[in-house]
Amino acid sequence: MDENPARIRALNDTFRRTFAGGKVLMTASIQALPADLVARALDRVRSFNEFTEDNDPHGEHDFGSFDIDGQTFFFKIEYFDQRLEFGSEDPSDPARTARVLTLMLAADY
């Protein structure tokens, strides 16, 4: 696997901010929330920039946590092959990697 955290971070940031170039999934508990709360959570994912050594130890910007209306949300970006069957061998190569962002409540984890 290519260990290029700067390239992976740039690809993750672009995907997270635009939701283009990958798939966005939501857990059942997110889908059960009021539509306006889901919209606000998705907006927070797009604008999230509170990456720290604790929540981003590899510098890839692939995880975040935030609170809205007393509920804690997590998002996680994972890297798969283009067929979404196995993990990507090179997350820094968008031609070989499908990004999947999952939005969930902390309680789902």
Q: Residues 24-76: pLDDT tens digits?
A: 999 999 999 999 999 999 999 999 999 999 999 999 999 999 999 999 999 99
Contact 102, 30 (CB under 8 A): no
- pLDDT exceeds 60 at position 1: no
Q: Where are the alpha helices (DSSP H) in 1-109?
A: 5-18, 28-31, 35-47
pTM more than 0.85: yes
- Give me the residue label for tokens 């061998």: 89
Q: What is the DSSP letter of 107?
A: G
pLDDT in tens, 88-107: 999 999 999 999 999 999 99
DSSP-assigned letter for residue 10: H
In order of 1, 32, 40, 87, the CA distances from 43 in angstroms are: 32, 17, 5, 27
Residue 97: its pLDDT value, please? 97
